[in-house]
A and B are shown apart, each in its own frame.
Chain A
Amino acid sequence: MLSSTADNLFWMARYMERSENTARLLTGLYHMSLLPARRGAQAGLWEGLFQSEDEREAFLAKYDGFRTDPVLTYMVLDRDNPSSIRSCVWSARENVRATRHVLTTDMWETINSTWLDIAHVTYGDMLDMGHHDFLEWIKVRSHLFRGVAHGTMRRGDAFEFWRMGVFIERAENTIRLLAARAHTFKPSGPAQRADTATLDYYQWGTLLRSVNAYKAYREIYKSQIDLRRVVELLTLNPEIPRSVMACVEEIYEILEGLRPRSRSFEHANDLLTRLQSARIDRIYRTGMSRFLEDYRSGLHELSLQIQKDFLMIQ
């Protein structure tokens, strides 16, 4: 298939996946912002979303503070924010529009109607609908799109490049989700004060719920929520569909099928081996933030290598 078409498919998948992940992230934070313990400390909560100085500046140029209303407006609806959910849906839709000749009509109709529905939504509309329901709607639209793609797309290169975009984006997002809490990664133990323990419980519970992994955690560990185990579950456990391990396994298989003698595949192989040989205790000792940061840049390099190997249009 055309390199430029594969490129469109890859980004279509990433943007759609990103819109869902942003909705998940915001749902989690919104619920936390409603907890009594967070009152008064809310500013820190929303501010944690903006991990670089550039992101902070872009936000503060238009809005007056890290509070629920402005942050949600910016992250969901702002057309000047290229990562807002609205912008992601728009970009996904434009990528579909450019490749609709290789996609099924159902895929186009799904993404196009999502775009038409979100295009004119105002913050007032969001308030009317309720933040939770609105973000849930975004998630459902992403589920629908993925389902339509799975149920209608011919199994071929187009399908594989779409899946590759999905899993790279998802892996990056799961890491980002964990990294956003990196500052709270400190040993938890009996010395901890009771209110902090409760806070941790809600924090990590909300985080797990936002990636649909709360029940899995309960089933697997049958114990109270502990941050080390949360990180283990979401990075190293191949059974959790949004874990980094699950995503990297998929990427490895896709590249093996597309071109096993490529730098991209070597790179994916390396990333997979790193996860397979990792142990949570060792990660914990050497520093989780550092581990996550290293792994995130590894994924980023893989993404660049895939673009070089398959998608470059010069």
Chain B
Amino acid sequence: MHAADGDIRDAYRDYSAWLTDQSIDRLRQKHEQADLLFRRLGITFTVYGEDEGGERLIPFDVIPRILSADEWSILERGAIQRVDALNAFLHDIYHDQEIIRAGVVPAELVMTNEAFQPQMLGLDMPKQVYAHVSGVDAVRVDDKTFYVLEDNVRTPSGVSYMLENRETMMRLFPDLFAQSVVAPVDRYPEYLLRSLQAVAPAGVDDPTVVLMTPGQYNSAYFEHAFLAMEMGIELVEGRDLFVDSGSIFMRTTEGPKRVDVIYRRVDDGFLDPLAYNPDSALGVPGILSVVRSGRVTVCNAMGTGVADDKAMYVYVPDMIRFYLGEEPVLQNVPTYSCRKPDDLKYVLDHISELVVKEVHGSGGYGMLVGPKATKAQCDEFKKLLKAEPENYIAQPTLALSTCPTLVEEGIAPRHVDLRPYVLSGEKTRVMPGGLTRVALKAGSLVVNSSQGGGTKDTWVLEAPAEISETD
């Protein structure tokens, strides 16, 4: 909330004045109301291995994270630039692989990547878009600099929290929204549907779009149902779909109906039991052949994961220069690839100052936060690093920005990151906002919900000129 010189940031000025007038008790009361709302609405995620009680709320903080129009414009430009480059990269590696031939990205990093899908080679995606929905996780380190922590171009989730957090804040604090010019995010489902319709197979006029979910016991099921409802499309599971004479159909009460675009929230490996995991009950046997013949568009495309793992992350600024001929707007966190001997040596020597992560890990597991670790833990990780250096990267710990947060002691600063959502297909656009995740433990940098993180509403204050935007 505070700038480097200790002053309150412009974006927070009005809100801060309002907050000063609020009693902690009132905020706590609002906090409880929010919990109740979320529970009634069923905005929960499922905890595996529990029975009917296995639904949890992600802690929601009633104090918003606020960005000024200027700050947002940097993030917006940067996120669009990044996703455009990633889409160009995906098209390239599944076609001519110029970036490999130019020596910018090492071939083995692509070809031996577990997420690389040889079946996608030579296949033309409508509009050359592979990642239709992306999440770019970013943190601010100083007034003008945002670092990207990671790109998410497989099946990024959490966008329902962006929408429901806003909805909840408007129910709890209608007075605040009357005062501030907060950019709306509620058109996300509409833009998402437009993006999906725009990438229908050639020759299809009024495409049938469906959302494919692993089912109601998936941890993100609420979000799948929510988005399907908001877009007014069918929410299907693998068992609802079948392949017949080269097309995909869904079983309806009026008989089979052809499906043109599948927004899938099922991982690559479960999509087609014939091609991948034969035990998968979530997929549709034979769907891959239909994808290959171009008679259905699967979003995000299969094989996008090759662009967003932590080893490829290092090369994203080079991709931006290579494909777009531009300098990156958002910075990468300086990253040491332990597969390089020099970097490995540096990491081993400075492990107590660094965050070490597994290349393919996610969710905050399998990582070491050097400054917080004991000597024994550091030594343990050194062994792992020496055994399989290519499995790890390391980054310095960042002076992450903090945001006031309601905690037990009252209002205190907590570290935050931000995932703006980027849509591609029609044109690349970002909703003004995103999912702010907050580390609720004092001093902690880990924001994952599985590790005690919470969420906040994210406000982007509109510049006066943008209010009249009408596309």
Contact = CB atoms under 8 A, between A and B. Distances in A.
Contacts of A314: 239, 251
A276 interface: no
B42 A97 contact: yes
Interface stretch (B2-10, B58-66, B229-237, B366-374): B229-237
Given A2-B240, A101-B225, A101-B228, A157 B235 contact: no
Interface stretch (A107-115, A123-131, A174-182, A203-211): A107-115
B239 A313 contact: yes
B240 A98 contact: no
A121 interface: no
A310 B254 CA distance: 8
Contacts of A35: none
A212 interface: no
A311 B253 contact: yes
Contacts of A310: 253
A113 B40 CA distance: 6
Given A98-B216, A310-B253, A3 B225 contact: no
B52 interface: yes
Contact of A3 (B40, B41, B53, B251): B251
Question: Chain B's interface: helix, strand, loop or mixed, by majority?
Answer: mixed
B179 interface: no
A78 B228 CA distance: 35
Contact of A109 (B40, B226, B240, B251): B40
A1 B252 contact: yes
Contacts of B52: 79, 90, 119
Contacts of A5: 234-235
A218 B244 CA distance: 61
A102 interface: yes
B375 interface: no
A6 B216 contact: no
Nearest to B255: A3
Contacts of B252: 1-3
B42 A4 contact: no
Contact of B41 (A90, A102, A109, A312): A109
5 contacts: A2-B236, A3-B253, A79-B52, A100-B225, A116-B40
Interface of B: 39-42, 52-53, 216, 221, 225-226, 228-229, 234-237, 239-240, 250-253
The 7 closest A-B pairs by CB, nearest first: A101-B229, A101-B228, A3-B251, A310-B253, A101-B225, A98-B216, A6-B253
Given A90-B52, A101-B229, A112-B41, 8 more contacts: A4-B236, A4-B239, A97-B216, A97-B221, A101-B225, A109-B40, A313-B240, A313-B251
